[in-house]
Amino acid sequence: MSNNKTFQKNIWNHQQKIAPYLFIAPFYILFIVFMGYPLLSSLILSFYEMRGFQSKIYVGLSNFIDLFSDPIFWKSVWNTTYFALGTLTLQLPIALLLALILNSKHVKGKNLLRLAFFTPVLVAGVFVAIIFNLIYDQRAGIINNEYILLGKEIGWLNEAKYVMPAVILTGVWQWAGFNMIYFIAGLQGIRQDLYEAAAVDGANWWQAFLHVTLPSLRPVIAFVVVVSMIGSFQLFDLPFILTNGGEPADAGSTIVMYLYKNGFQFMRLGYAATIGWVLFIIIAIISIAQLKLLGIFREE
């Protein structure tokens, strides 16, 4: 009898040790199967090139060397960086401004307006691209037809220099409202007594914004900036549809679009894997640099 009890106790102890691993096992199994293994194979693939549909051939660092002398890749890197900078300098300030306005006590119908600004993000990128394709149209689009602000017919999607600005503006329309929500949440988390203390010290609105609001929003800003940058560097569907695959003359090509073209249209899977890993390195460097700059690693 006592033997039996000891046996049961042993099993119980054993279970105590194993159970946690069993509970987290589904995640790790799925992660290894659907993330770990593909990541590893894509890394290996970047040192190979397909020789047909079933066999591949080892090419060493050749894909990486080719990539660094590939003008279309660099054009895509520049376009993507341009979009990311546009996001940083245009989209995020607009999102913050919207958040400040829609968090103010003096604005009526705030919830409705927040919903209105948030809605564009619920629309799939493909539909947004199709609609903006019509809006930007050089001769039939409503921007050139109804709002001839600059006094000339702009070839938004037909002239190379206007293509990325058009993509950036579409990005602002789609994503500013989404980032606004993060900023509103951040603004609501700022303690009122800080503003009261600032007011007692004689600070005006601008000084309170500069010395209370902005520093208190730092973690939110860091989060939004990093997530937006990652999203910007992964840009694909919007310009792909908007510019019909990067036209004209690759003016709308992005890194992921070039990766897709190489992998799926040109059947150069090794080269596409290389682009993927270079993109990973770019995003990692930029994200770490941003977090450092924004002081996220700083001890408080």
Partner 1 sequence: MAIPFDSDNFPIGKAPIAMLILFVISSILLVISIEKKDESLEFWIYANTHYDEYQARLPLFNQLYPEVNVHLVNFGGTMHDKLLTALLSNFGAPDIVEVEINSIGRFLKGAIDEIGFIDLRPLLESKGRIDDLFPNRFTPWSYSGKIYGIPHDLHPVVLLYRDDLFKAVGVDLTKVNTWDEFIISAKKATRDTDGDGNIDQYAIVLDNKTESDYFNFLLQRGGGFFDENGNVIIDSELAIETLTFYNSLFNEHKIATPVYGTWHGHPSNFAAMQDDKILSILAPDWYVGILKSQVPQMAGKWKAIPMPAWEDGGRRTTTRGGTMIGITKQCKNPDLAWELIEFTYFNREGLANRFETTMIIPPIKSAFDVPVFHEPEEYLGGQKIGELFIDLVPDIPPRYQNPYWSEASDLLNDAIFKVVTENEHPRKALTELATTVRKIISKDHTRWGTE
Contact residues for partner 1, defined by CB under 8 A: 11, 15, 19, 22, 49-55, 57, 59, 133-134, 137-141, 157-160, 244-245, 247-250, 261, 264-267, 269
User: What is the closest distance, in whole angstroms, from the C-beta atom of residue 120 to partner 1 in the complex?
Assistant: 22
Candidates 167, 143, 168; CA nearest to 90 is 168
Judged by beta carbon, residue 22 or residue 281, the one nearer partner 1 is: 22
**ω into 248 cis (within 30 of 0):** yes
Give the burial string for 68-92 (b: 16+ CB within 10 Å, else e).
eebeebebbbebbbbbbebbeebbb
User: What is the closest distance, in whole angstroms, from the C-beta atom of residue 19 to partner 1 in the complex?
Assistant: 6
Judged by beta carbon, residue 70 or residue 110, the one nearer partner 1 is: 70
DSSP letter (8 states) at residue 122: G
Q: Which residues contact 129 (CB under 8 A, 6 or more apart)?
A: 170, 237, 238, 239, 240, 241, 242
Q: Tokens 């894997």 belong to which residue?
A: 273
Residue 138 class from Cβ within 10 Å (0-12 exposed, 13-18 middle, 19+ buried)?
middle
Both tokens assigned to 26: 């589904």
User: What is the closest distance, in whole angstroms, from the C-beta atom of residue 29 to partner 1 in the complex?
Assistant: 11
Judged by beta carbon, residue 72 or residue 291, the one nearer partner 1 is: 72
User: What is the closest distance, in whole angstroms, from the C-beta atom of residue 65 to partner 1 in the complex?
Assistant: 12
User: What is the closest distance, in whole angstroms, from the C-beta atom of residue 252 to partner 1 in the complex?
Assistant: 11
User: What is the closest distance, in whole angstroms, from the C-beta atom of residue 259 to partner 1 in the complex?
Assistant: 13
Taking every pair of Cα atoms in the chain, the longest distance, rounded to a whole number of angstroms, is 97
Judged by beta carbon, residue 245 or residue 287, the one nearer partner 1 is: 245
Judged by beta carbon, residue 235 or residue 257, the one nearer partner 1 is: 257
The residues pairing with 50 across neighbouring beta strands, listed in sequence order, are 56
User: What is the closest distance, in whole angstroms, from the C-beta atom of residue 290 to partner 1 in the complex?
Assistant: 33
Judged by beta carbon, residue 134 or residue 285, the one nearer partner 1 is: 134
Distance of CA 51 to the CA centre of its chain: 34
Judged by beta carbon, residue 19 or residue 40, the one nearer partner 1 is: 19
Alpha helical stretches, state H, 154-191: 160-188
Judged by beta carbon, residue 4 or residue 55, the one nearer partner 1 is: 55
Q: How far apart are the first and last CA of the chain?
A: 59
CB 86 within 8 Å of CB 223: no
Q: Tokens 């080269």 belong to which residue?
A: 271
User: What is the closest distance, in whole angstroms, from the C-beta atom of residue 260 to partner 1 in the complex?
Assistant: 9
